[in-house]
Chain A
Amino acid sequence: MSAPAVAIIGIGIHPFGRTDGVSGRAQAVHAVRLALADSGLGFGDMQFGFGGSWSAGDPDTLVSELGLTSLPFINVANGCATGGSSLISADAMIRAGLHDIGLVVGFDKHPRGAFNTDPASHGIGAWYGETGLMLTTQFFGLKIQRYLHTHGMGTDVLAAIAEKAFRNGALNPNAWRRKEISASEIAAAPMISHPLTQYMYCSPGEGAVAFVVCRADRARDHCENPVYLSGAALRSRRYGSFEVFSPWLAVDAAQSPTVDAAAAAFAQAGLTPADVDVAQLQDTESGAELMHMAETGLCEHGAQEELISSGATGITGSLPINTDGGCIANGEPIGASGLRQVYETALQLRGEAGDHQVPGDPRVGFTHVYGAPGISACTVLTR
């Protein structure tokens, strides 16, 4: 395994969900202060910052609350991969030798039913939205329908995945949805976009996550339990992949950006999917977790039904996935969502995940986000 260049030495989170009366920026400041306290450092020690938020304000304005120290603070906007992109940018900054230590933060605060998108921002004509084709929920229904057909799977597995998400969320004090819901209740919920029901989808939400990152070879100067960013990669789509907001697809299918990003992250870490002890995968809805299990290389296409029904993807299983409840139980504040996965993985590797701790002293974690317009960011984390 190649030596990692960057370590996470401080982690902080503001609980996900809805926090009335607390702005997204205030949630970000809360997370940053926790991350700084965890690292034993102050904001004045930060040499740079990367921050992302879709709709809760410009991250670089947080300095007015945290301290006007003149540090370079760069705003990152990459849709669902915003958090991953921030982390990758920080990784590059440190690898390049420009700085030794810095801050990464992601936060958001979306109202109910957010995420209606203007076709023009994607280079698509107004007709696409006007005629009711421009919906992420619809895309996920179309995508999983094709996937289940191609790989000969039934729809029961979709309810089982959501049931696990709520079960794990119930164990996580920072999760939004903390009540277990049975698979039969999930399957019987209103149909949003066949074959996906209301309880199989995540919702726009609120939350914030922050990290203090530093040169790996200095990590132990600051803390006893660093988590190393052994691999981190972002990829966009290839010709022929099946992505959201596509008026047409190529007949010749290509692999998803998830496949490329996961492979690059594992290669950088010198590890393989078989080495992973705990994984957090983008579960915008149940079908996404199902597809991403195979696209990331954690299992073969078509092997998911057996893994899920046998409990292998549960917290005590052989391949624990979305141990904090994932997007389904935490909601999706876009700027913070990918960093939540890294936060959960850091907790797991540090053995501090409490009721949702994976047994067996996990050493290798994996995170994966995927989103519009066909991007994926993955990390491999080790200790």
Chain B
Amino acid sequence: MTLSGGPLSRTVDDSLFTSDGTALLGSRCDDCGAHTFPRQGGCPRCTGASMTDVALAREGTLWSFTVQGFRPKTPYQGPDEFEPYGVGYVELPGQLIVEARLTENDPDRLEIGMPVRMEMVPFRTDDAGEPVLTFAFTPVGRS
């Protein structure tokens, strides 16, 4: 897929993103308004089966966080050289709370309730040497 303003890159799974690659793609229940991520056909809240694709908000607040301290086993595909990475749940107001990697891995610089924004980040390099992108949230107003 082509990311706006960026080089031709592949994502970890194109079905997770809007076609322009700028937002996560979820589902919204036509009957009760519940959201899911990724997309699914059935509503886990009202048990209905009428779901419509919806772009999820790119900005939210950090709901919880941790730091992955060791290199996960298979099926993890990250680089062999391991650097601890942050993981969080981010509340997207009126939609849902999404789990994601965080660009910050220092727990002292993370705080529940802080504003964060989604971005696409290189997660690993594929066999052809091309970066594979996934989504992550970064604290707003920090480098």
- Judge: A and B partners, yes or no: yes
| Stretch from A186-194, A288-296, A312-320, A338-346 that touches the partner | A186-194
Contact A142 B66 (CB under 8 A): yes
With a CB–CB cut-off of 8 A, which chain B residues contact A129?
A: 75-76
Contact B66 A145 (CB under 8 A): yes
Mark B78-103 against chain A: 1 for CB-CB distance below 8 A, else 0: 10000001011101011111111100
CB contact between B37 and one of A118, A145, A239, A247 (< 8 Å): that residue: A247
With a CB–CB cut-off of 8 A, which chain B residues contact A195?
A: 66, 107
CB contact between A127 and one of B26, B65, B73, B134 (< 8 Å): that residue: B134
Mark A118-135 against chain B: 1 for CB-CB distance below 8 A, else 0: 110000011101111111
B16 adjacent to chain A (CB < 8 Å): yes
With a CB–CB cut-off of 8 A, which chain B residues contact A249?
A: 63, 89, 96-97, 99
Contact A142 B75 (CB under 8 A): no
Identify the closest chain B residue to A150 (Cβ). Answer: B112
Mark A60-91 against chain B: 1 for CB-CB distance below 8 A, else 0: 00000000000000000000000000000000
Contact A135 B68 (CB under 8 A): yes
Task: Report the Cα distance A146→B44, complex, angstroms.
Answer: 23
Contact B64 A251 (CB under 8 A): no
Q: How far is the CB of A214 from chain B (nearest CB, A)?
A: 40
CB contact between B65 and one of A133, A135, A142, A250 (< 8 Å): that residue: A142
Given contacts A131-B101, A146-B63, contact A125 B72 (CB under 8 A): no
Mark A98-126 against chain B: 1 for CB-CB distance below 8 A, else 0: 00000000000000010010110000011
Contact B73 A113 (CB under 8 A): yes
Identify the closest chain A residue to B100 (Cβ). Answer: A133
B58 adjacent to chain A (CB < 8 Å): no
B77 adjacent to chain A (CB < 8 Å): yes
With a CB–CB cut-off of 8 A, which chain B residues contact A135?
A: 68, 72
With a CB–CB cut-off of 8 A, which chain A residues contact B88?
A: 142
A236 adjacent to chain B (CB < 8 Å): no
Q: Which residues of A (165-215) have their CB < 8 Å from a CB of B?
A: 190-195
Q: How far is the CB of A192 from chain B (nearest CB, A)?
A: 5
Q: How far is the CB of A290 from chain B (nearest CB, A)?
A: 15
A23 adjacent to chain B (CB < 8 Å): no
A383 adjacent to chain B (CB < 8 Å): no
With a CB–CB cut-off of 8 A, which chain B residues contact A132?
A: 68, 72, 76, 78, 85, 87, 101
Q: How far is the CB of A287 from chain B (nearest CB, A)?
A: 11
CB contact between A142 and one of B15, B35, B64 (< 8 Å): that residue: B64
Contact A127 B12 (CB under 8 A): yes
Identify the closest chain B residue to A118 (Cβ). Answer: B75
Contact A116 B91 (CB under 8 A): no
Given contacts A146-B112, A248-B37, contact A190 B69 (CB under 8 A): yes
Contact A193 B69 (CB under 8 A): yes
Contact A130 B75 (CB under 8 A): yes
Q: Which residues of A (22-73) have their CB < 8 Å from a CB of B?
A: none
With a CB–CB cut-off of 8 A, which chain B residues contact A193?
A: 66-69
Q: Interface centre among A132, A193, A239, by most B CB within 10 Å? A: A132
Contact B87 A127 (CB under 8 A): no
Identify the closest chain B residue to A247 (Cβ). Answer: B99
Mark A360-376 against chain B: 1 for CB-CB distance below 8 A, else 0: 00000000000000000
B48 adjacent to chain A (CB < 8 Å): no
Given contacts A133-B101, A248-B36, A251-B96, contact A191 B134 (CB under 8 A): no
Contact B68 A251 (CB under 8 A): no
Residues of chain B having any CB pair with chain A under 8 Å: 12-13, 15-16, 26, 34-38, 44-45, 63-70, 72-78, 85, 87-89, 91, 93-101, 107, 112, 123, 134
Besides A193-B66, A248-B96, 6 other A-B contacts (C-beta < 8 A): A116-B72, A127-B13, A129-B75, A130-B75, A131-B123, A142-B88
25 contacts between A and B (CB under 8 A): A116-B73, A116-B75, A125-B16, A126-B75, A131-B12, A132-B68, A133-B99, A133-B101, A135-B68, A135-B72, A138-B66, A138-B68, A142-B64, A142-B87, A145-B65, A145-B66, A146-B63, A146-B89, A149-B112, A193-B67, A194-B65, A194-B69, A247-B38, A248-B97, A251-B95
